Amino acid sequence: MKRLGIAALMAAAGLALAGCSEVTNAVDQTNKAATKVSACAEALSLADLNPDPATIKERAADKEKRLRELAASVGEQDVAGALTGMADSYLQVQKENITDAGKIADWTKRNIDRLDALRKVCA
């Protein structure tokens, strides 16, 4: 009879631990989703859709750095890749002579394409 009680206690402990594992997995998934949503929202707010040629280079370094930080914080590779693509766009603008209206238009078009890619993986 004592062995039956110990077996029942062990079975109950096993079920409790299995339940804890499921809760832990659910919490982990929720945290990952929250990180993704937060990173996507911030990245979208950083995007320049109508850049000011006078300030774009000054702001590009900060935006590039923040986008790379967001990419490093996200567990999903497709989201991280889209964030890195946007960061690369801001690195590119730092290197170019972006005072020409045609270059600004080209850069803006590429940036919009990268934003669309980010929106797709964030949806």
Least confident of 33-37, 79-83, 84-88: 33-37
- Stated length of the chain: 123
Q: In the structure encoding, which two tokens stand for residue 7, read together? A: 């077996």
Q: How far apart are CA 9 and CA 27, in angstroms?
A: 27
Collapsed DSSP state (helix, strand, coil) of residue 86: helix
Per-residue pLDDT of 26-48, as tens digits, reads 544 555 556 788 889 998 888 87
User: Residue 76 is encoded by which pair of tokens?
Assistant: 């999903």
Pair 119, 56: CB distance under 8 Å: no
Q: Quick one: which of 123, 18, 22, 96 has its CA closest to 111?
A: 96
pLDDT in tens, 40-72: 999 888 887 777 777 888 888 999 999 999 999
- DSSP code, position 100: S
Taking CA atoms, 14 is separated from 6, 17, 20, 25, 69, in Å, by: 12, 5, 10, 17, 40
| Reported pTM | 0.70
